[in-house]
Amino acid sequence: MSDQYAVIGNPVEHSLSPAIHAEFGRATGEDIAYGRILAPLDGFRTAALRFRDEGGRGLNITLPFKPEAWRLADSHSAGALVAGAVNALKFEGGRIAGHNTDGIGLARDLKDNLGCTVRGGRVLLMGAGGASYGVMEPLLRELPQSVVVANRTVEKAKALIGHFAKLASDLRVGRFTWLPYDRLTNDSFDIVINATSASLKDGMPPLPREVFAPGALAYDMVYGRDTPFMTFAAGCGARAADGLGMLVEQAAESFFIWRGVRPATGPVIRLLRQKGKRIKAKGGP
Ligand code: NAP
């Protein structure tokens, strides 16, 4: 029987992860089967352990279960530790290893697929939830000139900055701070990342037009169609991208953790775009 993997979440029915991993398996010759598990909101632990006990080898975790996945893991990779978040579990023997592949996914999509140089750039990161925690370390390691965080709930932006302040200082990132949305009018940025879930409800953060520097990249982690943020950014002259590439790149990193084989991502991104799997805006695995 094929080795079993799955994405677990609630909701999970629209996840593209099964299609992505099926392509990875086919392209690499790895004998895997990848499904989806809809867990009750109060039933993540039971569903994850049942899957493991029935022979499952690994899980991707999507909303709202990433904090519970962190607690289920016996050990955490360096990336998961610094992020404080887990989006991939590997079952090995009796142990459960927690990983975070979101940040690597974003960094690879920006650099390899979009040809975007983070080094020396000014970055605005909107949102202070699990995704922002996941991407911050790999983002800082690209050595941007500055990173500013804006979030609806200002206390959470402050906490995110506090969590990574030492790393930013060690890496000599010149400016690492938070600002409320209404105080962004005096700044402009080369990369504006929407790590909020506002696009899932056809909304967007209250962003002034001035934030986009000439030639800026506007990146929405949500994928599936042009979001209000992408449309707004394009109207301000920015280049807009959705999070499909990040999704495929984080999946490739999960595949590598599980199988020790790194699948090519470009063909899968192109295939998914061609297939027009644009049913509705989505985010996460
Ligand atoms: P989360 O922990 O629930 O955090 C959501 C964030 O969005 C919070 O900072 C929240 O602000 C903010 N927010 C929600 N609605 C808003 C609105 N109307 N205006 C302004 N801010 C709003 O979610 P997450 O795990 O960080 O995920 C964020 C998004 O990234 C989701 O859409 C997720 O699906 C997507 N994602 C995509 C990928 C990928 O591979 N492409 C990977 C991971 C995540 P408050 O703190 O004020 O509530």
Give, to the nearest 10 degrees, the angle between helix 244-259 and helix 266-275: 130
pLDDT for res 130:
87
Say if 3-100+245-274 and 103-242 have the same CATH topology.
yes
Query: How many separate helices (H) and strands (E) can be counted in the chain?
Result: 10, 12
pLDDT for res 279:
44
Residue nearest ligand 1's atom 6 by CA: 196
pTM of the complete model: 0.94
Residue nearest ligand 1's atom 13 by CA: 196
pLDDT for res 38:
98
User: By the 8 A CB rule, do 78 and 101 touch?
Assistant: no
Residue with tokens 């209404």: 182
205 within ligand 1 shell (Cβ under 6 A): yes
User: By the 8 A CB rule, do 128 and 84 touch?
Assistant: no
CA distance 20 to 17: 5
Q: Specify the CATH superfamily of domain 3-100+245-274.
A: Leucine Dehydrogenase, chain A, domain 1 (3.40.50.10860)
Residue 66 appears among annotated catalytic residues: yes
246 within ligand 1 shell (Cβ under 6 A): yes
149 within ligand 1 shell (Cβ under 6 A): no
Distance 133 CA to ligand 1 centre (A): 11
Query: Is the domain covering 103-242 a CATH 3.40.50.720 domain?
Result: yes
H helices of the chain, in order, are: 17-28, 44-53, 66-72, 78-83, 102-108, 130-141, 154-170, 228-235, 244-259, 266-275
Burial class for 240, CB neighbours closer than 10 Å (0-12, 13-18, 19+): buried
The domain locations on the chain are 3-100+245-274, 103-242
Residues of the chain with pLDDT under 50: 278-280
